[in-house]
Amino acid sequence: MVFHCLVLVAVSLAPATVSYGQKTFGQRLSDSTLTLLQQKVYYDASYFRIDYPNGDVPADRGVCTDVVIRAFRKMGIDLQKKVHEDMRNNFHRYPKNWGLTKPDKNIDHRRVPNLITFFSRYGKTLPTSNFAKDYTPGDIVTWDLGGGVGHIGIVVNRKSDDGERYLIVHNIGGGQVLADCLFSYTITGHFQFGN
């Protein structure tokens, strides 16, 4: 017991430049994402007019992209603003799935293909694989649910019951949930952003 106290005192007196116990951005993003589970959210893909910047749909509503948007907002990163600004300047680089002729700050950041484009341009694109070890807390994963329907979630620092995989926080219809679904759908993208 005394030994442990001495170690704690020695560590607490270490210079600030020592990285013992400091979390990476991905670990902090994982932590911020897990806090979203405390909020009851109903799946609602409705179009909402929202404030800009830092706009959000009603707190009890959302889709898969809102999980990502809210987690990053807790980290001080406004994806609404970032995606809108990039689309305003580079609209030709973004998918034209919705027949739009110009950006829409109310919805563009809430669309999976637009987030894929944004993360591909400004984040770190990582390989997709069928190996759990390749996915770490704070990673952003996108999937095809079938028929070209996109989905997105964040890898968090909680493991599956068998200890083999990190879990995902996402919203696929049941609200913001923690799920063992990394390999449940076809993975289409794997990114890190904000590191």
**pTM given for the model:** 0.88
Which CATH code fits 23-192?
A: 3.90.1720.10
| Residue range 141-161: mean pLDDT, rounded | 97
Can you tell me whether residue 179 is helix, strand or coil?
strand
Q: What is the pLDDT of residue 17?
A: 36
Tokens describing residue 94? 């973004």
Predicted confidence (pLDDT) at residue 179 exceeds the cutoff of 80: yes
Predicted confidence (pLDDT) at residue 16 exceeds the cutoff of 60: no
Q: What is the pLDDT of residue 21?
A: 67
43's enclosing H/E stretch is strand 42-43
Q: Where are the domains of the chain?
A: 23-192
| Residue range 104-113: mean pLDDT, rounded | 98
pLDDT tens-digit map of 23-75: 999 999 999 999 999 999 999 999 999 999 999 999 999 999 999 999 999 99
In this prediction, residue 138 has a pLDDT band, given cuts at 50, 70 and 90, of very high
Q: Which one is predicted more confidently, 189 or 100?
A: 189
DSSP 124-171: EE----S-GGG--TT-EEEEE-STT-EEEEEEEEEE-TTSSSEEEEE-
In this prediction, residue 82 has a pLDDT band, given cuts at 50, 70 and 90, of very high
Can you tell me whether residue 88 is helix, strand or coil?
helix
What does the alpha-carbon distance between residue 153 and residue 140 come to, in Å, rounded to a whole number? 6
| Residue range 142-158: mean pLDDT, rounded | 97
Q: Which one is predicted more confidently, 34 or 8?
A: 34
Instruction: Please say whether the dihedral angle defined by the alpha carbons of residues 176, 120, 132 and 183, taken in this order, is positive or negative.
Output: positive
